[in-house]
Amino acid sequence: MNSITDIATVRVWLRDARAIAVLTGAGMSAESGVPTFRDAQTGLWAKFRPEELATEAAFRADPQRVWDWYASRREMMKDVRPNAGHVALAEYQQRHPGRLTVITQNVDGLHQAAGSVGTLSLHGNIFDDIWLDPCAGAHGFGGVCDVSRAQPGRPPTCADCGNLLRPGVVWFGEMLPAAALAAAEDAAQTCDLLLVVGTSGAVWPAAGLAHTARQGGARVVVVNPEPSELDGVAHALLRARAAAALPALLAD
């Protein structure tokens, strides 16, 4: 059974932990001004059903609508900066090389921007583009898809074979990047302490990492101002916001 805990208690656990893993979600970036997905009053999903937008089928059915949604999120994210929580994690990694692994569901790149090393991005990066399909090869010898003639504001399309660019994020129903997921599973299995920061725990397999850590004998601490679906797998709950809690927890 979990219990509400405090910073001082978790600091002792962190001091005694040989290997620390941190699983972050949208709440980690909330104080950087990035809307979360499911918080009713601000969450992006409050306006959309995920199936309408963040799936391959939705993109194939209406590329312009999905592309516009991601373009609006990219525009909103282009000026956001890491908050004190991201910075605290990165600085801890610098002071204690190899001891803390960041695993994130976020696609905003803020852990990397803060200087975190070896960040395991389970859901990709919203600023990356990838081709929707393998190239149909209608380019002549050695040619490849290109969007040099793409029309501004339209989903970028290869003029020769019609292939579409899509956001380099993991959509519902898609496999997570195998290497990142395997490394995250390993970190969860081998850590002594898992901090679960700013996630509702609604989406698997990311949420399953908390169960993996618990089963592997790690202490699991949820850092979230609100209840989450992972509270039940936690030893302790820190009802706090990431940008305040992490600097306090990780200060030497």
The contact set with ligand APR (CB under 6 A) reads: 25-27, 30-31, 36-39, 43, 50, 105, 123, 198-200, 202-203, 224-226, 228, 241-242
CB of 185 to ligand APR, least distance (A): 17
Q: Give me the least distance between CB of 42 and ligand APR, in Å please.
A: 9
Task: Report the C-alpha gap between 124 and 112 in whole angstroms.
Answer: 12
Rounded CA separation 30/202 (Å): 17
Min dist CB 67 to ligand APR, Å, is: 17
Burial zone of 117 (CB within 10 Å; 0-12 exposed, 13-18 middle, 19+ buried): middle
Contact 90, 184 (CB under 8 A): no
**For ligand APR, the closer CB: 156 or 167:** 167
Name the residue whose CB lies closest to ligand APR.
27
* 123 carries an active-site annotation: yes
CB contact set of 61 (below 8 Å; sequence gap of 6+): none
Task: Kindly name the residue from 86, 111, 123, 235 that is annotated as catalytic.
Answer: 123
Q: Is 181 helix (H, G, I), strand (E, B) or coil?
A: helix
Nearer Cβ to ligand APR (46/138): 46
| Contact (CB, 8 A) for 36 and 241 | no
**Residue 152: Cβ within 10 Å count:** 5
Pairing between β-strand 219-223 and β-strand 100-104 as defined by DSSP bridges: unpaired
Residue 93 or 224: the one with the smaller Cβ distance to ligand APR is 224
| Shorter beta-carbon distance to ligand APR: residue 50 or 216 | 50
- Least distance between ligand APR and beta carbon 154 (Å): 25
Residue 12's DSSP bridge partners are none
Give the active site residues: 123
